[in-house]
Structure 1
Amino acid sequence: MLNPCSPPLRQHTAYEQPWFVLNSSRYAVVPCEHPAISHFYAFDVAHSADLLAVPDGCVDIVFDCDATRPSVKICGTPLQAQRVELLQGHHYFGVRFAPGVIPGFINVMAEDLTEQEWDLLQVSAFAQSIFENIVNAPLLQDQIKLFNDYMGPRLMGRTSKLTAIVIQQALAHRGDLRIQHLEDLSGYTSRTIHRQFSQDTGVSPKTFFRIIRCQAALDTLNNQRDVSFSDLALDLGFSDQSHFLRDFKKLVSTTPCEYQRKMLQSAYNERIRFA
C-alpha cells in the first residue's frame, strides 16, 4: 500500500494553463520541492482577450504587482474553461499548489474555493504581513524566497490520509481510475471516500479524475506532434474517441486538433522559460 503521508506523485513539470502562456509576453516557471506546491510562475499579460483558465485541480495565489494598485487573489480550480480577468501590461507573480492541496493559512472552506476567487488579504491574516514586500520585490527569486520564508510552515492544509491516497492514485494513473480500485486499496467504502475527498478538496473524486485526465491530455498534446486522438482517448480510459473530444472541448474550450495546431503555431513550449 502507498504511504498515505508521502507527497503526491507529479506527472508534469507544471500543471498546464496554456491560455495564460499564449497571452503572455514572457512566462517563467520555477519548480518547487515542497510537497504542497507544484511551482511558482511569473508573466506579463500581452493580450487580455481570450484569457481562460482550464481545470487543473489546483489552487493558485496570484499577485498583481502593479505599482499603483497591487492586489492578490486566491483562486480555486475551475471545472470547465473559465474566463479570467487579468490586466494587459500588468506583471503577475503566482504560486500554484499541487493538485488537491488547500493551503493551511486561509479561512475559506475547500468547497467555497472551487470556481471562485477571493481577495487573499481578506481571508488570510498571514498574507497581509508579506503582501507589500512580495509585490515590490524586483526579482522572481526574491518573491519566491519571501513567500517560502514566511508561508512555508503554513502551506500544508488539513488533507486526510484517505484523500492523500486518492490524489496519489489519480496522478499515478493520469486520472484513469475507478472507485472500486480505491475501495480495495484503502479499505473504505465509496461513500466514505466521496465524502472525505469532497470535504478536503472541494470537488468529488470523479470530478478530480476528470480534471487530471484533461491535464494528461494537454501534456501529451504539448509534447508529442503525431498524436492519434483515438489512441490517446484509449490510453486515458475514455470509452470512445467522441467522448474524449466532447470532454476536452468543454474543459479547454477548443478541440484537441485545434488546440495542438495553436500550440505548434505559437511554439508553446519555447514560450515557457524554466528558471
Structure 2
Amino acid sequence: MSKASIVKRVAGIHAKQPWFVLSAAQDFSLCSSDIPEVSHFYGFEADSSASLTLAIPDGCIDILFDCDATSPTAYVCGTTLEATNANFVQQHRYFGVRFVPGVIPDFLNASASEMVNHLLHLHDVVPTCNALFEQVVSAPTFIQQVTLTQQFLKDKSLCSQRKRRFSSLTSQAIEHIFHHKGNIQIKQLEALTGYTSRTLQRQFLSDLGLSPKAFSRIIRCQSAVYHINHQQQVIFSDLAYGLGFSDQSHFLREFKRLVSATPLDYQKRVKHETYLNRIRYN
C-alpha cells in the first residue's frame, strides 16, 4: 500500500484521539474492520517520557486492554465531555477497539448514561469475556489481537438478540448531525425530523446518554481536529465560520476546552511531531 493510500485510509477514520498517537513510544498501529459498527482497532506502547495523555470527546465507546505482563487489565471507556487524563502507564502496551461514534454494542451490560465520562471494568459489563481477555493480553502481535477481537465481536453479533435498539428518531438525528459536521441547532433537528426538542432530548438521553446538543458539540470538535490533522493549510477563521462558531474567539475557547490546546498550538504539535508519520496502517 502506497504512502498516499495509507494517508487516505487514516484520514477516513474520523474518530480521532490525537494525544494517544502523539504519546506512543514508537509506532501507533491502526487497522480498520469489516464490522460496520467498528471504527478501527489500535495498539501502541505508552512512551516512557509521556507524563500525561489526554482523551478528547469523540462520541465513541472503546474497549481498551492494558497488556502489561504482570498486571493486565481491560476497560470499557465511554466518551469524555472534555479533555480528560487517560491514565496510561508509561511503557505499558495497549490494545483497543473503537466503535463508530454513537454506537453502543448490544453485549455491554450497562446503560448508555453509565458509560458517558466513565471507565468500567470489562469483566463487570461483559461477564463472558474471560477467554478474550486472556488471549488478547498475551497475544504477541497487534494483528493477532485484531483477529481475536474481531472474531469475538462477530460471534457476539451472531448471538445477539438485539436488546439495545436505538429509536429511528435517534438514528435519523445522528445522521443529520454527521452530515452537518456537528454544526446543527436543535431547531434544525426539529424541522428535519418532525419531532419536538423535548422528544429529541428524551430519546437521545435514553439511547446515547447524551443530549443532541452534547453529541453535536463532540462531532463538531472532531471535525475541527480532522481538518487540522489532514489539511496542509488551515485558516482558523474560515474553519470557525464553516463549523458555525459565532467568531474565532468562540472557536478558540471551545477547542481549548475539548482538546486542551488552542487550535494553533495543536496544529504545531501535530506538524512538529509528525502525527501521520507515527501511524502504521495494517
TM score, norm. by length of structure 2: 0.90
AA partner of residue 115 (structure 1) = N
CA distance in 2, matches of 1:97, 1:24: 21
**How far apart are the structure 1 equivalents of 2:111 and 2:98?**
18
The letter for the 1-side match of 2:179 is A
Aligned pair partner of 1:263 in 241, 260, 270: 270
Are the counterparts in 2 of residues 105 and 126 from structure 1 also a CA contact under 8 Å?
A: no
The 3 A distance-change label for structure 1 pair 264 and 135 is same
Distance 1:154 1:179 in 2: 35
What do the CA deviations read for 1:164-185 (whole angstroms, capped 9, x no partner)?
1122111111101122332233
Q: Which amino acid aligns with 2:215?
A: F
What's the counterpart of residue 22 of structure 1?
22
Does 1:170 find its partner at 2:177? yes
Which segments of 5 or more consecutive residues in structure 2 lack a partner in the other structure?
1-10
**Given that residues 56 and 212 in structure 1 are in contact (C-alpha distance below 8 angstroms), is that contact kept between their aligned partners in structure 2?**
yes
Q: Quick check: 1:208 aligned with 2:215?
A: yes
Shift of 1:128: 2.2
Aligned length: 265
Determine if contact 2:60/2:98 at 8 Å carries over to the other structure: yes
Give, in angstroms, the shift of residue 12 of structure 1. 3.9
Post-superposition offset of 1:142: 1.8
1:186 to 193, 208, 212: 193
Q: In 2, distance between residues paired with 1:48 and 1:262? A: 14
What residue identity is the alignment partner of 1:117? L
Question: Do structure 1's residue 121 and structure 2's residue 123 form an aligned pair?
Answer: yes
* Contact 1:103 1:154 (C-alpha < 8 Å) held by counterparts: no
* Backbone CA RMSD of aligned residues: 1.5
Cross-structure match for 1:45: 46
- Aligned partner of 2:207: which letter? D
| 2:252 paired with 1:245 | yes
- How far apart, CA to CA, are the structure 2 residues paired with 1:249 and 1:167? 25
Q: Distance in 1 between matches of 2:102 and 2:71?
A: 31
CA distance in 1, matches of 2:177, 2:155: 26
Give, in angstroms, the shift of residue 159 of structure 1: 2.0
- The Cα of 1:153 is off from its aligned counterpart by 4.5
Matches within 5 A, 1:100-119: 100-119=102-121
Aligned residue identity for 1:18: P
1:71 aligned partner, one-letter code: T
Share of identical aligned residues, percent? 46
Query: Partners of 2:94 and 2:87 in 1: how far apart?
Result: 12
Q: Corresponding residue for 1:89?
A: 91
1:203 Cα offset (Å): 1.0
Moved more, 129-138 or 250-259: 129-138
**TM-score where L is the length of structure 1:** 0.92
- Counterpart for residue 35 of structure 2: 34
Range with greater deviation from structure 2 (121-130 or 50-59):
121-130
**Which amino acid counterpart does residue 97 of structure 2 have in structure 1?**
V
1:112 Cα deviation after fit: 1.0
Give me the whole-angstrom Cα distance separating, in 2, the residues matched to 1:161 and 1:136.
41
* 8 Å Cα contact 1:59-1:75 kept in structure 2: yes
AA aligned to 1:192 is: T
1:254 aligned residue? 261
Amino acid at match of 2:140: P
Find the aligned partners of 1:256 and 1:148 in 2 and give their Cα distance: 35
- Residue 13 of structure 1 aligns with an amino acid whose one-letter code is I
Structure 1 match to 2:63: 61
**Which amino acid is the alignment partner of residue 148 of structure 1?**
Q
Structure 1 position 83, deviation (Å) = 0.7
SS at match of 1:93: strand
Query: Once structures 1 and 2 are overlaid, which stretch shifts more, 263-272 or 127-136?
Result: 127-136
Offset from partner CA, 1:184-218 (integer Å, 9 cap, x none): 33222111111111111111110111111111100
